[in-house]
Amino acid sequence: MDELNPMGESHSSRKKNLAILLIALYGFSVLAAVVILWRGGLRTKESNGGASAISLLAKRKKEAVGWVSIHGPIFESQSGRIWDLGVQQWVHRLNALAEKPEIKAIVLDINSPGGSVGSVQELHDQIAKVRKQHKKPVVALFGDVAASGGYYIASACDKIVAHPGTLTGSIGVIFNVTNVQGILAKLGIKMDAIKSGKHKDIGSPTRPMTPEEKQILQGLIDDAYSQFLAAVSEGRRMPLEKVKPLADGRIYTGRQAQSMGLVDALGGAEEAVQLAAQLGGIKGKPKIVREVDALDQFRSFLETEFGRLYQVDGEAVKVALMEKMERWGQSSLEYRWVNSW
């Protein structure tokens, strides 16, 4: 039998071993998901390293502030991966915290450029539901970026806290249409669409858009824009005539936004938690409770421990690039600052 030599292992052998490993990990993730769903999906993690939720059932729980981090673009999951839940992960965590009687207020840690109109509105509506049905105040904390849809969801909160240098604003709607007709022509490829109506392929990347089609899409933009303005006006208690001049798509710093009434206070995590505790009637230093998805740790494990295996064959770069190109190639209404993420 030949002696194994890892350093001399062939390229195909490495790929085969990697494939076997990934299949095994995927199987494990499926099993983990089944167990999580059977046991209730989420578990509570307290910032002071205290006992688990199970051990606390036997004694009175201390009043606390819930914490939900909303980081990255806000979209429905499109990867098909079992651990990628898209906007649903945030809706689930927010709702799970709201249903806990010991949670008296919630902080939303937002670091996002926004996302698709539907996903942003779903998260916005869930925040409004928490405030109305559960009677629990919600405070938004802006990180580096809380623009467009990131600001939209914050408008549903009781208060907004931002760093002086936070980038926010970008109130508006965008609908990107990619045209690849020139590239296809150079490759000798021509696309023909057989359609039921003249507008069935509106936004097609393989032909120029007609003036009539641009007018139709502008109507969609205008309607979604009016919904954005209404959400900000209602949430911030500002007249529409005051909101509209601020909503031409430009971005602001946190300090500028505060001077315009788009942000309530300047500060960081400590200020946001204190404000939430005050609104929730909590006396003294509040405990912070987060909802932790068990698959988060498994996902981090894959990204850190096995990330280098992807890099051996450049697969990580290929997958990331293909997913990004797929996103770019899709046309959708977005409350998103396009110069971020």
* pLDDT tens, residue by residue, 72-82: 999 987 554 54
18 assigned to some structural domain: yes
Indicate which CATH number applies to the domain containing 38. 3.90.226.10
Range of the domain at 118: 10-49+62-171+250-336
Cα separation, 278 vs 229, whole angstroms? 29
The least confident of 99-113, 198-212, 318-332 is 318-332
List the catalytic residue out of 119, 148, 204, 340: 148
| Active site (annotated) includes residue 148 | yes
List the catalytic residue out of 195, 200, 214, 318: 200
319 assigned to some structural domain: yes
* Average pLDDT for 272-297: 85
57 assigned to some structural domain: no
23 assigned to some structural domain: yes
130 assigned to some structural domain: yes
Question: Which pLDDT belongs to residue 186?
Answer: 87
**Under 8 Å between Cβ of 122 and 90:** no
* Average pLDDT for 227-233: 98
pLDDT tier at 94, thresholds 50, 70, 90: very high
116 assigned to some structural domain: yes
198 assigned to some structural domain: no
Question: Which pLDDT belongs to residue 113?
Answer: 96
* Average pLDDT for 264-282: 97
Instruction: Please report, in angstroms and rounded to a whole number, the separation of the first and last CA atoms in the chain.
Output: 51
Per the prediction, the chain carries an average pLDDT of: 81
For 202-225, how does the pLDDT look when each residue is reduced to its tens digit (9 = 90+)? Answer: 988 889 999 999 999 999 999 999
* Average pLDDT for 126-131: 96
- Report the largest interatomic distance among the alpha carbons of the chain, rounded to a whole angstrom: 81
SS3 content of the chain, % helix, strand, coil (to 5): 45, 20, 35
| Active site (annotated) includes residue 324 | no
Please tell me which residue, 57 or 229, carries the higher pLDDT value: 229
181 assigned to some structural domain: no
Structural domain tally of the chain? Answer: 1
Measuring CA to CA, which residue among 202, 207, 203, 214 is closest to residue 182?
Answer: 207
Q: How far is CA 112 from the centre of its chain?
A: 7
